[in-house]
Amino acid sequence: MLLKEIAEKLSLKTFTPQVEMAKDVKGGYTSDLLSDVMGASKEGDLWITLQTHKNIVAVASLRELSAIILVKGFEPDRDTVEAATAENIPLLGTDLQTFEISGRLYNLLK
């Protein structure tokens, strides 16, 4: 499913309005441990996390993840937004907690 379609269906807000959202998402990965995401996520996964610092962009970019969703209304750090924009990683947000947003995304993609 296209990322922009997912963002609409899940009412996600975007912190990176300049970044292209017309990419295909095949799966998701939920984790707040960076080396877990590094080792176990798959290319194109939509990553759900509560981490808001810049290193999440490095991980998403290096692992070629499709986008990042911040949970529970967390706001990204300013340099996180700058890095995400520069690296073309859509940075999205939801007020839902991790369990709920993961479940909803799973239902959309299954």
Partner 1 sequence: MLTEYNVEGGDFTRAGYASSQIKKTLKNLNISPEIIKRVVVALYEAEVNIVAHAFKGVISADISNSGIKLVLEDEGPGIPDIDMAMTKGYSTASSRVREMGFGAGMGLPNIKDNADRFNIVSRVGEGTRVTIEIDFAG
Q: Which residues bind partner 1 (CB under 8 A)?
A: 32-36, 38-39, 43, 49, 51, 53-56, 58-59, 61-63, 79
Residue 54 beta carbon to partner 1: minimum distance, rounded to whole angstroms: 6
Supply the minimum distance, in Å, between the C-beta of residue 35 and partner 1.
4
Beta carbons of 32 and 51 less than 8 angstroms apart: yes
- State in angstroms the smallest separation of the CB of 31 from partner 1: 8
Which are the contacts of 65, defined by CB distance < 8 A and separation ≥ 6?
29, 37, 41, 43, 44, 45, 46, 47, 59, 89
Q: How far is the CB of 5 from partner 1 (least distance, A)?
A: 26
Considering beta carbons, is residue 19 or 56 the nearer one to partner 1? 56
Nearer to partner 1, 25 or 83 (CB): 83
With beta carbons less than 8 A apart as the criterion, state whether 78 and 108 touch: no
Nearest-angstrom CA–CA distance, 110 and 108: 6
Identity of the residue, 9 or 39, whose beta carbon is nearer to partner 1 in the bound complex: 39
Instruction: Write out the two tokens for 74.
Output: 């967390």
